[in-house]
């Protein structure tokens, strides 16, 4: 039986653990070849093992996404080797610190914005031409409930995700007449390291796992997907 992503080329950021690793495994099971991006080589190798066990294959790219020139080089390398990109999953993120905005360290603020917002802009800038070369390009940007409503002490993270949503909606409007489909995905409360840092008193066993929500990413990456410019809640 042919997988839903058979023969597709998918790039996943934040692929060394958590949601990114689970999505990589799910995509591999559906037949995609993966470009896995994260800072840690060890984490990427662990995800690669999961991909292989699922019957897939991956190209590992150790990369700090605040190295914007490296993102440009990545796009050039993908073009040189494959000429296109079918799926982008921008899953990376930094929580920063939970503290009142008036006390927020400016350097930490800039770091969170660089990772959560500016890196996504640079990924779009580098990879948009490749996604448009696909017959059914798909781009999925991971957002958060923190982007909406009053979020005391969530400062830079909340602001960065709200700005990401505005940017992605603009991008969706710019690509509406193309074959590219662009969406935001809100995972909700998921059993990840970042969630444990933000909510240390929470029982992790009460939460969905990354594997539980990975099928929603498959739905949005599927060439048959028609959703565009939406904010999709992975847990309904």
User: Which residues have a catalytic role annotated?
Assistant: 157
Crossing angle (nearest 10°) for helices 68-82 and 119-133: 10
Q: End-to-end CA distance of the chain: give it in Å, rounded.
A: 28
DSSP letter string over 166-183? Answer: HHHHHHHHHTTTSS-EEE
Give the DSSP letter of residue 135.
Answer: T
CB of 58 within 8 A of CB of 36? Answer: yes
Handedness of CA 113, 94, 171, 90 (dihedral sign): positive
Q: Which stretch of DSSP H or E encloses residue 184?
A: strand 181-186
Give 142's strand partners.
185
Torsion of CA 49, 54, 59, 63, to 10 degrees: -60
- Indicate the SS3 state at residue 90: strand
CA distance 166 to 164: 5
């Amino acid at each position: 039986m042919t997988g839903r992503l058979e023969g597709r080329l998918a790039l996943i950021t934040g692929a060394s653990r958590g949601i990114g690793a689970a999505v990589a495994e799910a995509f591999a099971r559906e037949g995609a070849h993966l470009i896995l991006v994260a800072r840690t080589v060890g984490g990427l190798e662990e995800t690669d093992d999961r991909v292989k066990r699922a019957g897939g294959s991956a190209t590992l790219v150790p990369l700090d996404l605040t190295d914007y020139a490296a993102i440009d080089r990545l796009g050039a390398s993908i073009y040189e080797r494959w000429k296109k990109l079918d799926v982008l999953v921008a899953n990376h993120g930094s929580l920063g610190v939970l503290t009142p905005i008036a006390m927020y360290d400016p350097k930490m603020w800039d770091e969170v914005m660089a990772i959560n917002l500016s890196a996504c802009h640079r990924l779009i800038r580098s990879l948009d031409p490749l996604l448009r070369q696909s017959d059914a390009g798909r781009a999925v940007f991971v957002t958060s409930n923190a982007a909406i409503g009053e979020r005391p002490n969530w400062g830079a993270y909340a602001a960065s995700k709200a700005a990401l949503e505005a940017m992605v909606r603009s991008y969706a409007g710019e690509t509406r007449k193309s074959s590219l489909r662009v969406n935001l995905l809100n995972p909700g409360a998921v059993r990840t390291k970042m969630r444990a840092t933000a909510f240390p008193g929470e029982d992790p066993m009460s939460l969905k796992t990354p594997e539980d929500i990975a099928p929603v990413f498959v739905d949005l990456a599927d060439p048959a997907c028609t959703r565009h410019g939406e904010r999709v809640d992975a847990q309904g």
